[in-house]
Every structure is written in structure tokens, then in C-alpha cells.
Amino acid sequence: MSMNGAQTLLQTLVNCDVDVCFTNPGTSEMHFLAALDQQDGMRAVLGLFEGVVTGAADGYARMAGKPACTLLHLGPGLANGLANLHNARRANSPVVNVVGEHATYHRALDAPLTSDIHGFAAPVSAWIHVSESAASVAADGAEAVRAAMSGPGQIATLILPADTAWNDADSAHAALPVAPRSAVEASRIDAAAQALISGEPCVILCNGLGVTEPGLALLGKIAKHTGAQLLGDTFIGRIERGAGRVEIPRLPYFAEQAEEVLQPFKHVILVDTKAPVSFFAYPGKASELTPVHATAHSLSVPGEDTLLALEQLVEAVGAGGAQPQFTQLALPELPSGALTPESIAQTLAALMPEQAIVVNEAATSGFALPSFTASAPPHSWLDLTGGAIGMGLPAATGAAVACPDRPVLGLQADGSGMYTVQALWTQARENLNVTTVLFSNRKYAILQVEYLRVGAVNPGRKAMDMMELTRPDLDWVALATGMGVDAVRATTAAEFNQALAVALDNDGPNLIEAVL
């Protein structure tokens, strides 16, 4: 039986172990949809806005360790999904975008949806390719998956003109080998080891493979043996936390606090990350956070074999026999009284299920979460990596698709949640086990802080109005239930305790509007 280009692409993706497609299709993708329909190996999940599609692909990749594909409608569809592709790039998430395009002979006619797809894709994509014929689509698909899985995990964008999807093609392609991560040169291991045994104060700033369970255990040995301080980047794509893991503090978000934390150190050793810089520039303040009196040593950068480098570093400093300081399980009491960010953090720590996946876009309401949840049962923790808000609800959706046996806890600020609120509908449609805690402070609180920090003058009514989510208030219970997600409102700690217990007991999606 002959196959068309779309069918060979779908079969190739499945051959390459890509078995989930987050979609928002249009006319140019109808043959891809028809091929999806015939391909049992590929799950198809609809998102009602492309930011949901791309954010879900990011959350999926962080948990599955392999790419999902997205199906996006020409340039505008891709452009709608760019902010969450930016976040995915910052998380080193592998993603394969399949972007429909006008048929090859139609492109030059400048029909209304014609656009510079390559131009939209370039800033977020490590690999971009336009399939020019049905015969090449399968091989192009295999290359796209290889590109996505290369280095630390990358975004590959395959642009698929409609006729290359519908024309006859030969057969699917097999998976292509992915180059192994490159080993770190001995000189970098030596330099880090020399710093660690110098007797001078050292901090190890880590991310990526350094904050996986094995990475943290190796770092824990080094810290125990040498006295070095472990520190995580402010925002991390995925970190393993809780009982039985090595807990590490994070570099604070505000530059002056970060500077203070780094001030005591003579050496900053960088593990799967780069030298720290402040999130924004502020008038009269430094942007680079490595203290002037300190030396930065790059042990590894994203894409390198960080786990091997850490094993070698453990050997080099003689820490092989050291016992890392693993966190003991310790659950707080359930709180009572007023509902506050602290009381919510306490309830979350008390009720956190085993092996939860926490997707954190709690913004200013999340400051108490790290300390309260450090001694909770073991869990994975996913942050907003690229600062482009609207990642939380979609990423929780994708994480739940990747890990159907693990409960997902979405910790969601209201302003950020409104960017991609449609993700709730996908959670309902796919009956995903996601509990969203919606921090309803009815403002862009961080911007009110930043307004003063950057030295803007006292805000008047018009400026304040741009940072308040009132008139009207958002009704999150109505928003969620309107999309098929069970929802309740909590206004006291006791109500929240009760609501979270019920939501976690339920296998489908739930939302709790926590009114602050």
C-alpha cells in the first residue's frame, strides 16, 4: 500500500519513539490529521491555543526526557506558540514542531496566511528545515527528532508544505543515532578540584543534569567532603526534591540578594550552567553576579556529560566515601486561621502526595514554598525557565500526559494563568490528574514591586490600573467549571486544607481558587 508524505512522517515519528502530538491544526494540516487518525502509535492532544500546545510539549519533554511533536498552523500558529517555545528552549526541552505551510506551488502567490515561517521559528529553533517533496518528508522527520535529542535537548522545527503531506511517498524512516554527550576536558575537572581543595570558600552553582537525583547525590558527596556550598540556579527546568534527596537552596531572584549570597565565595564552580547574571538590569546596579574577588570555573555546560564530570570530580577530590546529607521526611501540621501564601505552602507540604510533579508558576505567592516543601515526600519540581509567563497550566498538562501514574500539582499565579487558561479544557478533555492551586491575589504583584525597584516615580491611578486584575474580578471557579474542570474557592486555611485533600483524592483535573 502506498503512503503519502504525512503518513510516512507519522510512522517515522513513531519509529523515533515520538508518540504524543499536541496539536492545533488548520487547513494546511488536514492530511497530517488524516494520517494521525490512521496511526495508532501516536496520541493526539488538542490545545485551544498554540501557547497551550507548545507549553504542553515543554512540560511533556521535561518529564518524559524525549520530545513530543507539536502540530501548528503556518506562521501565525507558530507565532502564537513562541513564548512557550522560548521557555522550552531555556529549559533545554527537546521539542519537534511540525508547522504546516502552503503547498510548494502556492507559496509564491502571497495568499493571506503566507508568512516568514522560518523567520518566526529561527530564534527558538536549533534546527529548521522545509520539506520540499513528499519523498524527503520521512528522512526530514527522522533528522528533526535527532536534532531535538541532540546536545542538552533542543527545538527542531520541520516546515511541511501541504503538497508534501498529500503527495505519494515511499516509506517511513528509521530512527537516527544521536551523538552522545561530549565529555568534559580533564583540565576543567582539575581546575574545579583545585578550587575545592584549596581551603578557600567555594560555591557550586548547578542546573540541568546536576540537579537530577544522581547528580545531586554526587554533588552531595562533594559538598560533604569539601565543605563547598551547593546552590541551584534561580529557575530550573526540572529538579528532584524532597525526602531522600539532597536539598539545595536557590540563587535569589533579586540581584542584591543574589550578590549577598555569593559575596563570601572565592570560587564559583558552574555545573551544567553559565555564570550568574541578574534577571533584569537596574539603574546603577551590577548585572553580572559573580563577585569581583571570585573566580568562576566552568565544570560543564548544557549538552556536556555532566554526570561523568561529577563522578570524576568526586574521585579527584577524594569524596568517594562521603555520605551526602539526604533530606529526612518531616511533615508539618495542617494550618488554621487566615489563608496566606505561607499557610498554603504549609498545607501543600503536609498533603503532598508521593512522586508528585510540581509545576511552579506561583510567582510572588510562591516565596514560602521551597522551605515548607523541602522535607515533603519525593517530588519533581518544574519552574518557569524563560520568564515568559503563561507556561504553568500548559506545562502541567504536558507533564500529566507524560506521567499518567504521577499526580501533578500546578501552583499557579492568576495573572500568568490567564495567558493560557484554555489548558484547563485540555486537562478536562484528557481527564488528566492535575490539581491546580490558583493564587488569586488579583494583581500583577511582581510588577508593583519592580515598578519601585527600577526607580519609576510613585505610581498614579493609571499606572496602578495596569498592574491590578480588578474591575471585574476574575471568577476562577466559573472559568474552570466552564471548561469542564471541577473547582472550588477557598478563603480560609481550613477550607483550603479540605479542598486540597478532596482534589488530591480525585484522579481527574481540579482547581482550587485560593483567595488571597
- Tell me if 297 sits within 8 A of 234, measured CB to CB: no
**Window contacting ligand TPP (CB under 6 A); options: 208-216, 289-297, 438-446, 452-460:** 438-446
Minimum CB separation of residue 501 from ligand TPP in Å reads: 25
Rounded alpha-carbon distances, angstroms, from residue 183 to 215, 301, 307, 363, 454: 15, 11, 10, 36, 42
Name the one residue in this structure whose C-alpha cell is 564530570: 309
Of 252 and 353, the one with the shorter C-beta distance to ligand TPP is 252
Nearest distance from C-beta of residue 83 to ligand TPP, angstroms? 5
Query: How far is residue 464 from each of residues 389, 452, 458, 461, 515, measured CA to CA in Å?
Result: 20, 12, 10, 5, 20
What mask of x and - would describe binding to ligand TPP in positions 440 to 459, judged by CB under 6 A?
-x-xxxxx------------
Q: Check: CB of residue 154 under 8 Å from CB of residue 94.
A: yes
Measured between alpha carbons, how far is 186 from 195 in angstroms, rounded to an integer? 14
Q: Which is nearer to ligand TPP, 226 or 364 (CB)?
A: 364
The overall longest dimension of the chain from CA atoms, in Å, is 71
Separation of CA 89 from chain center: 9
The secondary element (H helix, E strand) that includes residue 287 is none
Cell reading at 346: 504549609
List C-alpha distances in Å: 21 to 28, 159, 198, 226: 16, 15, 51, 46
Strands 356-361 and 155-161: unpaired
Candidates 4, 365, 373, 436; binder of ligand TPP (CB under 6 A) is 365
Task: Name residues contacting ligand TPP, limited to 399-418 (CB under 6 A).
Answer: 413-416
Closer to ligand TPP by CB, 264 or 387: give it. Answer: 387
Q: CA 234, CA 477: separation in Å to the nearest integer?
A: 32
Is the CB of 164 or the CB of 360 nearer to ligand TPP?
Answer: 360
Q: For ligand TPP, give the closer residue by CB, 161 or 415.
A: 415
Q: Is 341 among the residues that bind ligand TPP (CB under 6 A)?
A: no
Contact stretch for ligand TPP (CB under 6 A) within 293-301, 312-320, 359-367, 492-500:
359-367
Residue 476 binding ligand TPP, by CB under 6 A: no
Residues binding ligand TPP: number (CB under 6 A):
18
* 302 Cβ contact partners less than 8 Å away, ≥ 6 residues apart: 92, 151, 152, 207, 208, 272, 273
Closest CB 82 distance from ligand TPP, rounded Å = 10
User: In this structure, what DSSP letter does residue 11 have?
Assistant: H
Q: Which of 83, 98, 393, 511 binds ligand TPP (CB under 6 A)?
A: 83
Nearest distance from residue 183's CB to ligand TPP, in Å?
Answer: 37
Instruction: Tell me: does residue 387 bind ligand TPP (CB under 6 A).
Output: yes
175-204 residues in contact with ligand TPP (CB under 6 A) are: none
Task: Give the integer Cα–Cα distance in Å for 394 and 414.
Answer: 14
- Interacting stretch for ligand TPP, rule CB under 6 A, among 52-60, 307-315, 369-377, 382-390? 382-390
Q: Which of 309, 389, 488, 512 binds ligand TPP (CB under 6 A)?
A: 389
Select 45 or 438, whichever has its Cβ closest to ligand TPP.
438
Residues that bind ligand TPP (CB under 6 A): 83, 363-365, 387-390, 413-416, 441, 443-447
